[in-house]
Amino acid sequence: MSDITTETTEVSEADVLPGDDLVDELRWRGLLQQHTDIDALRTALAAGPVTYYCGFDPTAASLHHGHLVQLILLRHLQLAGHRPIALVGGATGLIGDPRQSGERVLNSEDVVADWAERLRAQIEPFLSFEGENAARMVNNLDWTGELTAIDLLRSIGKHFRLGTMLAKETVARRLASDEGISFTEFSYQLLQGNDFRELRNRYGVTLQTGGNDQWGNLLAGVELIRKADGASVHAWTTPLITKADGTKFGKTEGGAVWLAPDMMTPYAFYQFWVNAADADAVRWLRTFTFRSPEEIVAIGRQHGEAPHLRLAQRTLAQDVTTLVHGAAATEAAIAASAALFGRGEVSELGADVLDAAVAELPSTPYQPGMTIVDALVGTGLVKGRNEARRAIGEGGASLNNVKVGDEERVIETGDLLHGRHALVRRGRRTLGVVTAEG
């Protein structure tokens, strides 16, 4: 890369408030990692408004937590008066950005088109499409679909150097692996670089944002515009989110926290955030919520004084779930969480919310005539019938949050909430579910 100035920014400590500068605040929030000339970028944002974009490829049926970071950054910049463009990659989604290992399976055009529409619907609520800095939604298939092979080679490929393309970390790793990398995936960076140029020519875009794993692709666009058009533009990446212990951010190792409710229920989504470790919850308040820095610091201090109250986790879970799924879904998730742990009335939960709430509990199928002892044993809450009887005799067993003192208590069909589930509990926090089939 010839004369492009790039830097990496370290994230500030959580208890040090940022100044009034937009770049400083977004750095403090953990939304700035690598960037082109920071002084030029700061000056451009101060002079504003800047038209900026981020791309989202439909390589799955839903956005996930990594995309959520980008959506939040887009929203912060729009709230500061700048003009966002959200790009759905109907073209690049047909190719796919090279993965760290293994070739992507190419999805059909119909599947990619369907996923592109799903992503549009997920992106739209984060941005305002009215006013002087109204957002715009675009699809790169509109211009890439018309691109001929000759145009790709002459107008775009001419400005790319193989040495730079081969030096990309993902490309280098794939080349050194047994499976290698196809020309299809290798060419992805040409298409993304061309997106930046097209958006600059069409809408005056001068800034592209993305996750830190996209840094090479962002610079491909910066360099293409410099070489082809003699113009200077900016790139900005956010850190890849990890847990405080260094492990991957997700429900399981390598798992995704999906934003679509049909791929991860609002209840499960809420539970992910409310179960965050203390250090993660305080840090993620900066990145994933729109609370002011002063309020976030105050919550962090209160949490540190009484961590058992889990103020940071409850605030984080409520804010992020409301942001993604809305207030009604968040209230239902909170009610379900309270009911499951004995602080609410389980019979008042809706059927869908209850289904989501019990989905990951140990379960046993309902059988007519089964007793509370059968349920405790079947769900694995106790090791055997004698232990179940002791738990009942000591007052440590309940059915649908009502204590059971009779070991011969039969679970009737009327005990099945919505005709489907009966909650069994041993102690305060050990839960299982009896579920009727069908």
pLDDT computed for residue 252 by the predictor: 47
Tell me: the pLDDT tens digits for 197-241? 999 999 999 999 999 989 999 999 999 999 999 999 999 999 988
- Looking at residue 189, its amino acid is Q
Q: Does domain 242-358 have CATH number 3.30.70.890?
A: no
Single out the residue of 71, 426, 37 nearest to residue 234, CA to CA.
37
Give the containing element (helix H, strand E) for 432: strand 430-435
- Under 8 Å between Cβ of 218 and 235: yes
Structural tokens at position 31: 């939304």
Q: Which CATH number fits domain 361-438: 3.40.50.1370, 3.40.50.300, 3.10.290.10, 3.30.1330.10?
A: 3.10.290.10
Number of other residues whose CB lies within 10 A of the CB of residue 393: 12
3-state secondary structure of 110: helix
305/350 Cα distance (integer angstroms)? 36
* pTM, two decimal places: 0.88
Which is more confidently placed, 122 or 17?
Answer: 122
What Rg value do the Cα atoms of the chain yield, rounded? 26
Structural tokens at position 365: 């199928």
Annotated binding site: 53, 188, 192, 251
3-state secondary structure of 108: coil
Tell me: the pLDDT tens digits for 87-98? 999 999 998 888
Tell me: the pLDDT tens digits for 318-364? 999 999 999 999 999 999 888 887 677 888 888 888 888 888 889 99
Annotated binding site for ATP: 251
Residue linked to tokens 């993305």? 210
pLDDT computed for residue 246 by the predictor: 75
Percent of the residues in the chain that have a pLDDT greater than 70, as a whole number:
94
Fold of 6-238: Rossmann fold (3.40.50)
pLDDT computed for residue 1 by the predictor: 42
Single out the residue of 361, 346, 356, 358 nearest to residue 415, CA to CA.
346
Number of other residues whose CB lies within 10 A of the CB of residue 428: 10
- Tell me the pairing of strands 207-211 and 34-36: unpaired
Could you tell me the sign of the dihedral formed by the alpha carbons of 128, 129, 135, 141, in that order?
positive
Structural tokens at position 275: 């179960």
CB-count burial class (<10 Å; 0-12, 13-18, 19+) for 10: exposed
Single out the residue of 210, 228, 226 nearest to residue 218, CA to CA.
210
Calculate mean pLDDT across residues 19-24. 87
Annotated binding site for L-tyrosine: 53, 188, 192
pLDDT at 12 over 50: no
Structural tokens at position 234: 């900016």
**Distance set, CA 276 to CA 135, 213, 311, 318, 332 (Å):** 33, 24, 11, 13, 20
Domain boundaries, the chain: 6-238, 242-358, 361-438
pLDDT at 10 over 60: no
CA–centroid distance for 49 within its chain: 28
Which DSSP string do the residues of 212-259 spell out, in sequence order? GGGHHHHHHHHHHHHHHH----EEEEEPPPB-TTSPBSSSSTT---BS
Which is more confidently placed, 8 or 244?
Answer: 244
